[in-house]
Amino acid sequence: MSSILEQPHHTPSFGRMGNSLALVTGAGRGIGRAIALRLAEAKIPVVLVARSDEGVTALRNEIVSNGGIAYACPCDVTQIDEVEALVSDIPAEVGQVNILINNAGIAPSAKIEDTTDEMWRETFAVNVDGTFYLMRALLPQMKQSGGHVISIASTAALQGFPYTSAYTASKHALLGLMRALSEEMKSTKVIFSTICPGFARTQILEESILQTMARGKTREESEAIFATMNREGHIIEPEEIAETVLRLISDSTQSGLIYHANGSIIP
């Protein structure tokens, strides 16, 4: 993998954010991939972050082939040294990250008695620790020039669901972290927004659908179960969330708000 500086670069202007550079975690697939594609379509250069080199490299090539600017940066956000190296390796010639999309996440499912220490720790490491490490590394520079931090949480950040104790607890923690930082940095020009979508069409949901089908349901019946649990009445497409992200970056001026997948505010 070439360094960021060896990849084609420039920093075009975008709306009120001025010279923008976005960093998206979990960009190799699902919601993160959709967000990265939408930002690139809007002429925002994107740093693509995921554990796997293959996913972000393929996405970078797709974005570049369509005239966008993207940088593939494999990184395990649960590892402090990798996060710090990632941030320090973004040179001034590429730009300064002023849009951070915290999207990386995992969603294990198990009864509480079957939730292992390893499962609990890994869930918090990906869903909370990685977000904390990135914000701690990037916020000092964002405080100086302004920016927008958007975290993709879940309806599990707002209520409890059975067999998801680790996941639900981690998403509550993520929302709490965003709320705390919004208060801590309310005198700065950094905006904090949290999106709490319901069930979205991702690999995580696909695994849940297959588990339901294994218990005798058809795919149509299985998808209907999850769709009816969403306030929208349908399984959310990643592109819906991506559109909300772009709209928040473009228009939002109030920090600390929580949003549904379609961008409506959660009181």
Write down the residue that tokens 């997948």 correspond to: 261
Instruction: Specify whether 167 is catalytic.
Output: yes
Instruction: Specify whether 171 is catalytic.
Output: yes
Tell me which of 71, 133, 167, 259 is the catalytic residue: 167
The two three-digit tokens of residue 172, written as one number: 């509550």
Tell me which of 43, 111, 163, 171 is the catalytic residue: 171
Catalytic site residues?
167, 171
